[in-house]
Structure 1
Amino acid sequence: MATDGTGRSLWRADGRNAAQLGTLGSVKKVALPANLTFNPGADVNANLVAGRFTNSQGVAEDVLYFVAGAGNGQTALWRTNGQGTTEQILSLTDRSIEAIPELPVNVNGTLYFVASVRETLQEDGVTGTRQRFVLYRSDGTASGTTEVQGVTNFRQIQRLTAIGNTLYFSGFDGVTGPNATGEEVWRITSPGATPEVINVVPGGGGSLPRNFFGAPTPNGTEVYFVVTGSDRINRLWRLAPGTSQPALVTNGAVGTPRIVEDPNLDPFRASPNFTFFNDQIYFTAIGTSPNSTQLGGNIGQELWRINNGRVELVADLKPNTTSDFSSAPGQLTVVGSGASALLYFTADNGTSGVELWSYNGTGAPSLIELNNTPILDINQNPTGRTLGSTPQNLTADEDGNLYFTASAPNLENTEIGLELLAAQRRWNANRV
């Protein structure tokens, strides 16, 4: 998504010169229907969903799905091949649809999305409205877009996530009384399968499941997620391959660092940043430690992993330094494969600002260096105080390199700006 001065539009690059960093090859504006408009405040880049579609000639082609305006203040679901064919799949004027609150999700070639429907009701002579949520599946055509039976009258449907060939989501079917489940885990294992509810917290209160993540195992994919228990404490749960019985992930042993269990504090904040690395699940969370001098033994938000079924702390990178004692790891990115793979992330150790770190699975994480100088030393203000290079946009390539942007002086060390850097192969970073 970009603008050339005539308005926002989609663009495509053929990637012919992708080997030369910063060169996208031929870049062309995608021709779009006249009635297709983009909301000025919408982040369409975040809404683009890749898929495959078999056209009328029987040819399978790569396509993008997205939600955008359709004229007259309406919104619709669209499909484009980026080469002149852009079609409207579903308009919100169809079927009394009010909005599409969830991004479309591609599950092995089947597109799923949620629509909210506003219905008019009349009871005892009084007219009112009711909102319900409907799950749709689509083959990419208007005629092939249908409601998923069994998920057409929900009070809530959200957090659609594709894990392998299965769709997971958080849903509340609206059932009350002794059979109520509240908002729980739902899954659909194939386009023709009956939606299945997985009741993590019995009793009708719901578990508010979120942050679904799949991790490969020799026996299939294990699914991890966060739920809120009846005690209002947020914990990690998992589903073993081929089962419908969720299990609680074991916290650290008493007397060792553990994820905080406090009904007034969400240890995972917005996201635990689940990442599969070195055959283990890595994530970020707020924890406690018997070695911490902070109130309640809090060690802030740090890097953790699940090792042999139990949670363990990888490192406390900001131990007892200030009142803000979270190193706040983020942007977890795996580069390479096998024994040479590395986990990169950003963190603030309390002395250097937000910097780039790497971890090989053993020992302690390490600061990345730029030409044998820690990146923390390359961004200083005129007083000499380190500001932190604040790496962003971490991107791995197939050759085991990590590219990112970071704030740094220019080569004459006279001004601070945003530069593109590369952490190549192992420990040193270089300007691109």
Structure 2
Amino acid sequence: MWPNFFQRKKSPSSEVKAEATLHLEQLEGRQLLSGDPILLDVNPMGNSQPYRLEEMNGTLFFTGFNGNSGQELFKSDGTSSGTEIVKMISPSGGSPRYLTNVSGTLFFNAYGGDAQGAELWKSDGTSAGTVLVKDIDATYMRSSGPQELTNVNGTLFFRANEPSTGFELWMSDGTSAGTVLVKDIDPNVDTGPFYDYPQSSFPDHLTNVNGTLFFTADDGSNGVELWMSDGTSAGTMLLTDINPFGDATPENLINIDGTLYFSANSGANSSEVELWISDGTSLGTVLVKDINPGAANSNPANFTNVDGTLFFTADDGSNGVELWMSNGTSAGTQLVKDLTSGGDTSFGELINVNGTLFFVANDASSGLELWKTDGTSAGTELVKDLNPGADDSSPEFLENVNGTLFFGANDGSSGYELWMSDGTSSGTIVVNDLNPMNDDFYYYAGFMKNINGTLFFSANDGVNGRELWVLRTDPEEPLLVTGSDAGEPSTVRVFDSAGTELLNFMPYGSLDIGVRVATGDVNGDGVMDIVTAAGPTGGPHIQVFDSRTGELLTTGPNNFYAYDPSLLMGVFVAVGDVNNDGYDDIITGADTTGEPHVRVFSGRTGEVITEFYAYLIDFKGGVRVAVGDVDGDFRKEIITGAGPGGGPHVRVFDGNNSVGVPIGGAATDFYAYVPSFTGGVYVASGDVNNDMLDDIITGPGSTGDPLVRVFSSADAALLQNFYAYSTDFKGDVRVASTDVDGDGIADILTAPGSPGGPHVRAFSGVDLSDLSNFYSGSPTNFDGIFISGSQTMAALMPTSAPLSSFFVTEETDPPADQNPEEAASKKSWEEDTEEFYQSAEKIDKLFSGLGIE
């Protein structure tokens, strides 16, 4: 049996009365990711052009422009405050390139000014630790131009131009003295009428194979051939002269389990440019297979390692350019599938995603689209025709993020945007239409880098220019943030999904006015913020706090009044990005005795984006607010519910509207319960049916039965319909949503108002199973709380002495009375409302005197 959580003390005169109402505020459930893309605006004055993304010690390093300098080196930890220039190397711009992580030191080529030119630099991520390694060519206005930077077991190898040797192989341990020429492979000198010029071996395609460097070079005698080096002059040698007649020109060098695969031209009529392997010996450097027999070339390309198997493209002379695979033997080198019968298949990028090869190809009917293969013909298939028909979606910048593929593509309607795929057609979806107003190629998402499950990429949203964005993809710990209601000191508490208290603070001191809460990333730094709103008599006071510390933010709209400070009614608050600028905006609604006045404040600037009246201006019951993307446009809409004195009238508005007219749609202007019920309605949203639209969740105000409903945003169908508490309870039922169990589907949070105890419950959005239940504060406190659900974006700092007691019932199954069909048969306001939905005229007539449109 469930305890009677909602019974008052028998002798209130002998006890300290602690009245409570439990309110919940909305934060939308997450579909597959832990958050939306976050803008890291490096250059507020224009394009920062993030480029050359590289990871070192869990930090992203990249090049860009901040508006105050030329192209320089930047770093980012994924937050706005942690995204900064490392060092201004040159007043005109250091133009760093070839960023390479060598055991925790970043090496790169940079221009240090005319006197120095482009030379080898290194950085530890600090300005002081970003220094020139060596001026290899010290001649004024000349550069050694280091290229092909390659890490071989903690030693940097590269190509550089020194006046006496030309472009040759160098190595560095990060010191000037330890930066040395490995070998002058081509010691020949060209004699001119005025100057003698050293010939260059021009080392290229530097590749580490288990601690040995392989590369191509021309020693002036044998042509461009395959070489190897152990870092000594004596140990730097020609491996074998593959083409005794000229250049073998090895390319596509790749290490697969200690074996080097590459393409080369033997010069013999029996095989031209074909597939080769090497074990590091002359005898072990051999042709794998003459794929296109005779004098023709198969031209192997696009080499990709998939768990020890080489996938590549080649032309066998019969099927055209198609997808091949090899295990290093002739018999094991075979065509995977002829995608384009009678012609060549055009290929883009290939990438290994947890043992499955994803690739971009045009089979002459679907255009350039995303494909996948398991290495069999039957298992090679189009993932999805993103741009239907023969047009190309042109997927690019393929990046594996913990088993999910991310890429940029153009579906023909949204322009080039960020996409993700789990390898199925239904699971291949656009992540976010960052720039819904432009389909120009210039605006596309690209240059991606995965760092520990966080995706960094560049994109232009049409407002901020091409900037750095970050998307957290790992499921993150769900959090519940509560605020006490009037009757006890205004206290905010943070809980994990099990009900363990992690943090607490008092935003309005010891005043017992109550505090409403909402959660989101208001300042765009990737860390969840807690937004508080004062209750009745406290004025419409809004504050924003760091969820990790409980400290008031020092930047952005952190402390302001949503309405005239002299107005003493409380304020409801929600948080969500309504204008798609990467910052969650703050939405406020006046509480009871106030007009149904909704305001939207920019999380970025604090300015009022828009304001409107959700219902008739003379209605004084106030308005509850929530946010959610109900129409799939990747912008949060504002969801409102009428307060006490009004009917259960739910409306949905565009976040940028100013006229108070709901948007079109099946579930954007309706009554959640029988229209004659005047207790008001609480609203929330979350995608509970996994259709990529945030559905609308409702709970009744006081005097109604505790019936929670979930309406599909797609067609207004009733998705869930259950009693959150005993049918004897007649107080408010506040609702919210977050993904409690990490299944990617929004779950439903409920809590009772007065006279119920502060009992928080979480129901599965899939099957209503009981996921969590606990008390926020003392179980004997009947004043209640406000609550918001969210996902963490940073580790929380637990308090040493939590203020709340944790409680979990012995039963984990939902109470028997949660099913409306099992409830006692009686006529009450929660009975089926179908007849009311069928007749707008009846609804209007019933509510004509209530001040509700």
TM-score, normalization by structure 2:
0.38
**Greater gyration radius:** 2
Q: Is the contact between residue 352 and residue 387 of structure 1 (CA under 8 Å) also seen in structure 2?
A: no
Of the candidates 271, 274, 281, which is equivalent to residue 184 of structure 1?
A: 274
Check if 1:267 corresponds to 2:354: no
Residue number in structure 1 paired with 2:149:
48
Separation in 2, partners of 1:189, 1:148: 10
Q: List aligned pairs for 1:118-137, cutoff 5 A.
A: 118-119=220-221, 132-137=223-228
Question: Is the counterpart of residue 352 in structure 1 residue 414 in structure 2?
Answer: yes
In structure 1, the partner of 2:181 is 88
Match of 2:355 in 1: 279
Does residue 28 of the first structure (1) align with residue 95 of the second (2)?
no
1:225 aligns with 2:312: yes
Residue 111 of structure 2 is matched in structure 1 by: 3
Q: Deviations over 1:35-83 (max 9, x none)?
A: 59998797x56x211113xxxxxxxxx2221112110582211111222
Q: Which residue, 453, 456, 461 being the options, matches 1:403?
A: 456
SS in 2 for 1:172: strand
What residue is the counterpart of 2:156 in the other structure? 64
Higher strand share: 1
Alignment partner of 1:368 is 2:431: yes
2: CA distance, partners of 1:262 / 1:80: 51
**Match runs of 1:198-213 below 5 Å:** 198=288, 199-213=290-304
The alpha-carbon distance between structure 1 residues 327 and 147, as it changes in their structure 2 partners (threshold 3 A), is: same
Letter in 2 for 1:80: S
Does the CA-based 8 Å contact 2:225-2:250 persist in structure 1? no
Cα distance change on mapping 1:305 and 1:41 into 2, 3 Å: farther
Aligned-residue offset at 1:94: 2.3
CA RMSD of aligned residues (A): 3.2
User: Per chain length, whose mean CA-contact separation is higher, i.e. which structure has more relative contact order (CA < 8 Å, sep 6+)?
Assistant: 2
Query: Corresponding residue for 2:382?
Result: 313
What aligned pairs does 1:281-296 form with structure 2 within 5 A after superposition? 281-288=357-364
Indicate conservation of the 8 Å contact 1:165/1:190, yes or no: no
SS in 2 for 1:135: strand
CA deviation string 1:241-281 (max 9, x = no partner): 66654111034xxxxxxx32454x5511xxx3211114211
* In 2: Cα distance, 1:79 partner to 1:386 partner: 45
Inter-partner Cα distance in structure 2 for 1:208 and 1:309: 22
Asked whether the equivalents of residues 230 and 236 of structure 2 are also in contact (C-alpha less than 8 Å), the reply is yes
The amino acid across from 1:169 in the alignment is F
| CA shift digits 1:339-361 (9 cap, x unpaired) | xx311000011122211101123
Tell me by how many angstroms 1:202 deviates.
Answer: 2.5
Question: Quick one: distance in 1 between partners of 2:257 and 2:422?
Answer: 27
Query: Do the aligned partners of residues 232 and 247 (structure 1) sit closer, same or farther apart at CA in structure 2, a change above 3 Å counting?
Result: closer
Structure 1 runs not aligned, ≥5 long: 16-22, 53-61, 120-130, 252-258, 289-297, 410-414
Aligned residue in 2 for 1:239: 326
Quote the Cα distance in structure 2 between the aligned partners of 1:275 and 1:360: 13
Question: Aligned match of 1:111 in 183, 188, 213?
Answer: 213
Secondary structure of the corresponding residue to residue 274 of structure 1: strand
Q: CA deviation at 1:31?
A: 2.2
Q: Quote how far apart the aligned CAs of 1:234 are.
A: 0.4
Displacement after TM superposition at 1:232 (Å): 7.0
Q: Is the 8 A contact 1:314 1:364 kept in 2?
A: no
Contact 2:243 2:265 (8 Å CA) reproduced: no
d(CA) in 1 for partners of 2:387, 2:376? 26
Q: Is contact 2:351-2:357 (8 Å) kept?
A: yes
CA distance in 1, matches of 2:341, 2:384: 19
Residue 248, structure 1, aligned to residue 302, structure 2: no
Displacement of 1:210 in angstroms is 1.7
The Cα shift of 1:132 comes to 2.9
SS in 2 for 1:83: coil
Question: Aligned partners of 1:352 and 1:41: how far apart in 2?
Answer: 45
User: Which of 86, 98, 102 is matched with 2:204 structurally?
Assistant: 102
Does structure 1 conserve the Cα–Cα contact (< 8 Å) formed by 2:336 and 2:375? no
1:76 corresponds to 2:168:
yes
d(CA) in 1 for partners of 2:464, 2:223: 52
Matched, 1:173 2:266: yes
Instruction: Give the structure 2 partner of residue 123 of structure 1.
Output: none
Give the aligned residue type for 1:345: F
**After the TM superposition, which segments of 4 or more aligned residues of structure 1 sit over 4 Å from their partners?**
34-42, 95-98, 241-244, 385-388, 426-432
- Write the distance in 2 (CA, Å) between the matches of 1:164 and 1:315: 32
Question: Is contact 2:155–2:173 with CA below 8 Å preserved after alignment?
Answer: yes
- Aligned equivalents of 2:255, 2:209: Cα separation in 1: 5
Residue in structure 2 matched with residue 304 of structure 1 by the alignment: 371
SS in 2 for 1:182: strand
The code of the aligned residue for 1:391 comes to: A
- Match for 1:332 among 398, 411, 424? 398
Determine the structure 2 residue equivalent to 1:55: none
8 Å Cα contact 1:102-1:158 kept in structure 2: no
Per-residue Cα deviation, 1:64-121 (whole angstroms, up to 9, x for no partner): 21112110582211111222211111225427875436322211111112223555xx
Contact preservation (8 Å) 1:157, 1:169: no
Structure 2: gaps of 5 or more residues: 1-108, 190-198, 477-519, 526-853
CA gap 1:101/1:229 in 2 versus in 1, 3 angstroms: farther
* Matched AA of 1:162: N
- Specify the alignment match of 1:59 in structure 2: none
- 2-side partners of 1:302 and 1:424: how far apart? 26
Provide the C-alpha distance between the structure 2 equivalents of 1:174 and 1:38, rounded to a whole number of angstroms. Answer: 42
1:135/1:152 contact within 8 Å kept: no
TM-score (norm 1): 0.73
Deviations 1:136-162 (CA, angstroms, capped at 9, x unpaired):
111011121111135362532221222
Separation in structure 2 between the aligned mates of residue 71 and residue 301 of structure 1, nearest angstrom: 46
Determine the C-alpha separation between the residues in 1 that align with 2:142 and 2:257: 32
SS of the residue 2:337 aligns to = coil
**1:167 Cα offset (Å):** 1.1
**Counterpart residue type for residue 10 of structure 1:** L
8 Å CA contact retained: 2:448, 2:457: yes
Given the superposition, is the C-alpha separation of residues 108 and 352 from structure 1 closer, same or farther in structure 2, using an over 3 Å criterion?
same
Please report how far the alpha carbon of residue 333 of structure 1 lies from its aligned counterpart in structure 2 after TM superposition: 0.4
Are residues 1:423 and 2:471 paired? yes
What amino acid is the match of 2:394?
A
